[in-house]
Structure 1
Amino acid sequence: MNTEVIHAKLARRTGEDRRVETPDDLVDRVARTLAGTERAHHPAAEADERVRHWTARYRALMTENRFWPSGRILNNAGTAQAQLASCFVLPLADDFASVFDTLTTAAACHRTGGGTGFDLTPLRERGAPISSAEAAGASGPVSWLRLFDAETSVVAQGGKMRGANLASMSVYHPDVREFVDAKRTVGRLHTFNLSVAVDDAFLHAVEANHEINLVSPLTGEVTERIAAAGLWERICTNAWRTGDPGVLFTDAINRANPLVDRLGPIRTTNPCGEQTLYPYEASTLGSLNLTAFLRPDHRSVDVTLLAETVRDAVRLLDSSIDASHYPCTRIGEASRANRRLGLGVMGYADLLVGMGIAYDSDAALDLVDLIGATIRDAAWEASEQLAVERGPYPNWTPAHRPLPVRNCAVTTIAPTGTISMVAGCSSGVEPRFAPVWNKDVMRPDGITHADEDLLAALRRHGGLDRQAALDLLRHKPLHELPLPAEVSRAFRYAHSIAPSWHVRTVARWQRYTDNAVSKTVNLPYDCTPADVSAAFLEAWRLGCKGLSVYREGSRTRDLLTAKGAGRQADADADPFPEQRIEPEPPRQSKQLADLLR
């Protein structure tokens, strides 16, 4: 485990002398707190022994670097704050007082480091009538983004955790074009990711070059008919320019939603898109470090140990729901009614390198099948066992699963950030970023990092010392390095992987994931909006629940910059000249949305 990251980002200060926790202190605090929930489910005569047993098992998950719960759990478990959820979705009703009520709740979520998602679709369109007789009409949903952006920025000043938001809007809303353009015209919004909610009917209309109706959420009347392909081009061009908006495939989300008949459709997600949530629903997260399951022969994965770890991790995350103090009663009620978990993975790219498998290969997808099926089956087995011990989640029906289960959903794939740094592994299911890169850490020159595995291979096969190997990485492309082909083939990096392989990776992991997969499709600087469209459409056809893209150099300053790649986006030839463009402050890509937490 990386003790420096734990000290800097997660350790609490305790006692009158404000002593900083050691890593062992932190692990013990978290393990004891979550194991303590066993007392609520078992007779007193056996409760103490169960608490000791599960404290030891939860501790082993972390000390053996097999699984880490989210930063919220690591930071807050066993403290007075005790808010353990990482992400929330909050409703926006078409009512002035309701919007400000949601703003207050969002501030409470951000204050504890949680991220929030909002669907703007219910809000009446710009110019629609409002009750104030002297007013010209509603300012529209996009105007509210500035208020929520300002709240998030202000609240973030009070702590070390930066707040984050996602706003979505239906493709049929009358203000959808204004929403799609928001990152170029509103300016700032640096705490927001944006996603357009599209359904199958809209995408079929794009393919057939048909028109769609824009419908007022206030009256239900059609306000305009527009060309679906023209709107799609606008979405893809803005994503090409700024990385926003992404897309949410709402039919795919709700085809896999076990609660759609009981609670209706899910309409939006958390800030990074991995948790599809109902209004007021929250979720706790944690990720398996896949590198911990690589066998010593570097040719296979220990699936028995993986399944055992999954079962313990599911129990830990379910216990975190019981141990959490939510920001408001409504969030607590919705979260405990569904008991949605977010068990994910990290270190996928590192596992591939360790096994000598290229990220963009059929062998990598075969490995996803093996790992994904093992995690899925063990996770639901654990949820069934928890239902026997603790009861099924309150909204369970046999239509979901024939046997009672404790959780409406178990698996997700988050981008990870702090916990992948704690574990010392690659983030989520992202490829490694570059052989050598600079990390923007508020310094003019940043900090230079290198792929240590590649450096070691260069030293081993090229007879170089570390500095000579680093100099070679700075000035030579990968294919010119003095490495055997069987060694170099495993070192694949974000911008050298074809977009279709990024999409296929998302789709393959999605097969085994209850919620969604957060992963950015990295695009080269010289790609076109048509390439963005191709990536989005392929993701839709392959059954993904959503997708975001990021074109290298498309913002004024990238958080991570490959050496020699610091190009700026071309701001000329605006495809929508009627819009006013304002500069936007630096903001990280969705791939890196949690990296600095």
Structure 2
Amino acid sequence: MRRLTGLSEKIFLDRYARKHADARRVKAGDIVLALMKDDAKFPVKEVGEVVSRDGEEVIVRAGDEELVKTTIGRLTHPIELSPEQMWDRLAEAMASVERTPPKRVEWERKFRELLNDWKLVPGGRIAAGAGASDELTLFNCYVVPSPKDSRGGIMRTLTDMTEIMSRGGGVGMNLSSLRPRRAVVAGVNGSSSGSVSWGGLFSYTTGLIEQGGSRRGALMLMLNDWHPDILEFITVKETMGELTNANLSVCLSDVFMDAVKRDLDWELVFPDTKDPDYDEVWTGDMEAWRSLGKNVLTYKKLKAKDIWHRIIKSAWKSAEPGVVFLERYNKMSNSWYFNPIVSTNPCGEQGLPGWGVCNLSSINLSKFYDAGKRDVDWAELGKITQWSVRFLDNVIDKTPYHFEENEQNQKKERRIGLGTMGLAELLIKLEIRYGSEESLVFLDKLYGFMAKEAYLASTRIASEKGSFPAFDREKYVQSGFMKEMIKAYPEVGEAIGRNGIRNVTIITQAPTGSTGTMVGTSTGIEPYFAFEYFRQSRLGFDKQLVPIAQEWKDAHPGAELPDYYVTAMQLSAENHIRTQAAIQRWVDSSISKTANCPADFTIEETERLYELAYELGCKGVTIYRDGSRDVQVLSTTEKSTEEKQEQVESAQTIAEKTSLAEDSLPSEAVSASDTDHAPKEVLRVVQEATLSTESLPTIIKANVSLELDRPYKKRPDVLRGATYKMNTPFGMAYITINDLNGSPAEIFLNVGKAGSDVFAMAEALGRVCSLFLRYGDHGDKVRLLIKHLKGIGGTGAIGFGQNRVESIADAVAKALELHGDGVAVGLESLAPVKLEASNNEQEAHSGPVEIVEQVELELSNPYQEIDLCPSCGSATLINLEGCKQCVSCGFSKCN
């Protein structure tokens, strides 16, 4: 038995190893996963060995031989301690559905060989559930039908979504079936709140659902280009608190893209809801509605280019919405003639019909390098590809189905999604630079070969077990994808003609954040994000190295890595898109891929990138501009002159979970000697550095014309105030507010562990708020500060109703309100805990300069990541394969 080590072992034991249902069976000598820090947002777990047990109390040797006293309830007790044990379980489970005992014996042996040494890495749900539970689904993600346009229909969809997420599946849905904002609802003599508003309900519920105790739900919301709410949908995340727990994508048609190219008008339309058949017939399919001769109302007419540019601007600004070319998707889809694609799953790699599912596993390409030939081991790769198709086909018969509709749909089409990981590592071994012209030629050969082998395998299974029930030979081969496949590989068309085919679709390219990190290779089809990064442990940030890069450095001391060692940010955005397009040719579903762009990437360059993706045949595109943000920003609605005078401006973009970019701080930033000019420079530097985290989604800055020329109130040696204890999504916060001349003048925040990113960001927010409060003599400062901090939210919240706290910034606003009222009216959990005197000499004399020093300290971290991981709290959450993934702990929002 070979146990994993380090981070790989922690991921394996936490997420995929089979576990005892009750940890009370633990005894001395057992290996456990101990919860060292019980925090909803940033739990800390360590692998350890039980030294002794006394009733409920346990002594565990964890980490660096540290003895930790804990309790039974804080332990996870794994049954499986090594991948070999998991592979045995999975091979037996997948072979168990074979029809005869000899077949079960044959395929258990082959599946075990397939899984050995991580040649095939099963999707997370398969690894965790197959052979371990009759309750957990083996499918990663689902698409539910568009909600029926009624309160009952919406609630039914909400219930379905909740049930799926509670069992570990992510959900995608298209909201185009819901009538637009202010449309008449005759039954209640009122008007609709609109599709985007109802999307907020789905988003909010997603944030409440824990999946297996380790991750929250994943949700994709989509809207078609003809819907009257399209502009609201595109810009919704610029309004605080809207759709914070959902990924958004706009579905664009070829007709729309042609209208953009020709600068034509575009009509925003919706069916006539007064039609007597509306409730029964309308499903969100506009083409089907029109084919019935039904009336369609035009709500608005805009230039197609205006809508397109708004999409581009929003994507440039905040990485959302993504774009899916849905009409193209359906033209290429093998299910075009019986099951149209209505949405993608949350990570975008699989377009699905209503009640469709993702059935995922990935071949680890790094295992197929033949060092002797300095080439791919094509024979072994072909064999493993063929066996993998049968493995995934068997998942369809092994998984439990919690919805009859899912079972009927999946067994009708038998959709599977075989993908890859380790591509970047394989290219490095072959000394081919990712994104180069040479790599594009190689990728066409590699993925064409795998698609051919996969399709031939599916035809062989069909000859033995039968084709998928909805198979129509004449229509099937007329899909856009099959025309290309048969043109390149005529033997595939011949085999389908003889045998039929077992699966409607076979290939997809999913993100593999958790599994790829566990295995220790590059995730999905992405390049390495970095060859060096930092991981937070109980000892602080530890430098981590990508093995293949470190091995080269060890063999070549002092030398620079060769050109073919390339990271995501070293590639041009066009390299990313051209790589995606080269692989897309051989993918019958879709690809989860992010085009990383530098911070200075312009809106015009973004537009060209999207156009290039469309021209090259991609089914969708998502960009991430370094420094852009994934959550909502303050709305920029026009205000009156008086309001503008009172307005405290906010930073332009907000991160969902964010750390600091190393190059954010200008080289001309104020030094400790520039005290005469510090306040004005500090505010500019803080604005440009865009300090933010999930709990600190905005950095408040003073309006220059209003505040910067007003006198700075010097702090006396002693101030008195109150400390407020509040629970926040990032843990307990102690917020001290001290008064000067009867009004709040400074705020101190203590949240999280000293040295953590949360602690630093909380301190930064407190200092900037203090600076704002002590500058100028505007009488409404506190009210303005409350106005612009209150309601700021991230991906989670604590409490309900008036007790609800959205973020640390929201907690500060509530504390300021309490401080002004003097009592905690209706907010029992937010009551002041004590009064205390404050005497902080250092803060009194060096506040502004210290803010700049704090920024410089944080920005000195050489790791160029942007986001905080909601699992481990490290500043190592990155956008890969269209999904948020942590390179530290392996957390993935999609897996």
After TM superposition, the score normalised by the length of structure 1 is 0.88
Contact 1:89 1:278 in 2 (8 A): yes
Q: Provide the residue aligned with 2:45 in structure 1.
A: none
CA shift in 2, pair 1:448/1:120, >3 Å: farther
Query: Match of 2:469?
Result: 394
Match of 1:63 in 2: 116
Residues 352-377 of structure 1: per-residue CA shift (max 9 Å, x gap) = 11111111211111221221111111
Range 173-182 or range 427-436, more displaced: 427-436
Q: Which amino acid aligns with 1:430?
A: E
Gap change, CA 1:448 and 1:111, over 3 Å in 2: farther
CA-CA distance at 1:316 after TM superposition: 0.4
Aligned-residue identity in percent? 31
Aligned match for 1:93, one of 148, 163, 171: 148
Contact kept, 8 Å, 1:166 with 1:269, in 2: the verdict is yes
The C-alpha deviation readout for 1:319-352, integer Å capped at 9, x for no partner, is 0000011221111111111111010011111111
- Residue of structure 1 equivalent to 2:662: 564
Contact 2:440 2:582 in 1 (8 A): yes
Distance in 2 between residues matched to 1:209 and 1:306, nearest whole Å: 48
* Counterpart for residue 508 of structure 1: 582
Contact 1:241 1:569 in 2 (8 A): no
Task: Give the Cα separation in 1 of the matches to 2:164 and 2:537.
Answer: 26
Change (3 A) 1:400 1:434: same
- Report matched runs for 1:299-314 at 5 Å: 299-314=374-389
Aligned residue type for 2:119: R
For the pair 1:4 / 2:7, whether they are aligned, the reply is no
Q: CA deviation at 1:81?
A: 1.3
CA contact (8 A) 2:348 2:590 kept: yes
Partner of 1:593: 884
1:585 Cα shift? Answer: 2.4
Q: 2:512 aligns with which of 416, 425, 443?
A: 416
Q: Supply the distance in 2 between the matched residues of 1:158 and 1:374 (Cα, whole angstroms).
A: 38
How does 1:115-264 map onto structure 2 within 5 Å? 115-135=170-190, 137-156=191-210, 159-187=213-241, 189-219=243-273, 220-263=296-339
Kindly indicate whether the alpha-carbon contact (under 8 Å) linking 2:119 and 2:364 is maintained by their aligned counterparts in 1. Answer: yes
Partner of 1:268: 343
Counterpart-to-counterpart distance in 1, 2:793 and 2:615: 33
Shift of 1:276: 1.0
Per-residue CA deviation, residues 237-256 of structure 1 (Å, 9 max, x unaligned), is 11111111010011220121
2:530 paired residue among 431, 434, 448? 434
Q: Which segment is superposed worse, 274-283 or 156-165? A: 156-165
Contact 2:165–2:209 (CA<8 Å) still a contact in 1?
yes
Q: SS in structure 2 opposite 1:261? A: coil
Aligned partner of 1:593: which letter? K
Would you say the 8 A contact 1:82–1:323 is kept in 2? no
1:344 aligns with 2:419: yes
Post-superposition offset of 1:118: 0.5
Higher-RCO chain (CA-CA 8 Å, sequence separation at least 6) = 1
The 1-side partners of 2:230 and 2:112 are apart by 48
In structure 1, the residue matched to 2:546 is: 451
1:385 partnered with 2:481: no
Q: Quick one: distance in 2 between partners of 1:100 and 1:181?
A: 25
Residue of structure 2 equivalent to 1:576: none
- In the TM superposition, 1:535-574 aligns within 5 A as 535-555=609-629, 556-557=654-655, 564-565=662-663, 568=690
> In structure 2, the residue corresponding to 1:109 is in which secondary structure?
helix
Pairwise CA distance, 1:458? 3.0
CA contact (8 A) 1:7 1:20 kept: no
Instruction: Give the equivalent residue in structure 2 for 1:104.
Output: 159
SS in 2 for 1:121: helix
Give, as a single letter, the amino acid of the residue that structure 1 aligns with 2:214.
K
Q: Distance in 2 between matches of 1:298 and 1:160?
A: 43
Alignment of 1:293-372 (within 5 A): 293-297=368-372, 299-372=374-447
Q: Tell me the amino acid that sits aligned with residue 7 of structure 1.
A: L
Give the counterpart of 1:21 among 77, 80, 104: 80
Q: Secondary structure at the match of 2:617?
A: coil
Alpha-carbon distance, 1:559 to partner: 6.1
- Name the structure 2 match of 1:523: 597
CA contact (8 A) 1:548 1:590 kept: no
Q: Aligned pair in 2 of structure 1 residues 260, 49: CA closer, same or farther (>3 Å)?
A: same
Return the alpha-carbon distance in structure 2 between the equivalents of residues 374 and 384 of structure 1.
16
Q: Identify which of 541, 552, 555 aligns with 1:460.
A: 555
The structural deviation recorded for 1:20 is 2.9
In the aligned structure 2, how far is the partner of 1:568 from the partner of 1:532? 21
Change in CA separation of 1:445 and 1:214 when aligned onto 2, cut-off 3 Å: farther
Alignment length (residue pairs): 559
CA distance in 2 between counterparts of 1:27 and 1:235 reads 45
Deviates more, 1:83-92 or 1:141-150: 141-150
Look up the match of 1:474.
Answer: none
C-alpha separation between the residues in 2 aligned to 1:256 and 1:174? 27
| Superimposed CA distance per residue, residues 475-497 of structure 1 (whole angstroms, 9 cap, x where no aligned partner) | xxxxxxx33xxx52111111121
Alignment correspondent of 2:802: none
Contact residue 424 and residue 528 of structure 2 kept, 8 A: yes
- Could you say if the C-alpha distance between residues 524 and 5 of structure 1 is closer, same or farther in structure 2, counting changes exceeding 3 Å? same
Partner of 1:74: 127
Deviation at 1:296, TM superposition (A): 1.3
d(CA) in 2 for partners of 1:520, 1:182: 21
Does residue 277 of the first structure (1) align with residue 333 of the second (2)? no
Q: How far is 1:565 from its partner? A: 4.9
The structure in which a higher percent of residues are strand is 2
RMSD: 2.5
- Residues 338 and 393 in structure 1, CA contact (< 8 A), matched pair in contact too: yes
Task: Please name the residue that 2:752 is paired with.
Answer: none
Distance 2:618 2:691 in 1: 28
Corresponding residue SS for 1:215 = strand
CA 1:15–1:523 in structure 2 vs 1: closer, same or farther (change >3 Å)?
closer
One-letter amino acid of the counterpart of residue 33, structure 1: A
Amino acid at match of 1:13: K
Distance 1:562 1:458, change over 3 A: farther
Query: Counterpart of 2:624 in 1: which secondary structure?
Result: strand
Pick closer, same or farther for the CA change 1:35–1:561 going to 2, 3 Å.
farther
- In structure 2, do the counterparts of structure 1 residues 557 and 565 end up closer, same or farther at CA, with 3 Å as the change threshold? farther
Larger Rg: 2
Structure 2, unmatched stretches of 5+, are 26-76, 274-295, 478-496, 630-653, 665-688, 693-697, 700-787, 796-866, 868-877
1:83 to 133, 137, 144: 137
Distance 2:547 2:165 in 1: 35
Shift of 1:212: 0.4
Asked if the contact 1:69–1:285 (Cα under 8 Å) also holds between the matched residues in 2, the reply is yes
Instruction: Identify the residue that residue 48 of structure 2 maps to in structure 1.
Output: none
3-state secondary structure, aligned to 2:420:
strand
How far apart in 2 are the matches of 1:157 and 1:58? Answer: 28
Q: Does 1:534 find its partner at 2:608?
A: yes
Alpha-carbon distance, 1:150 to partner:
2.2
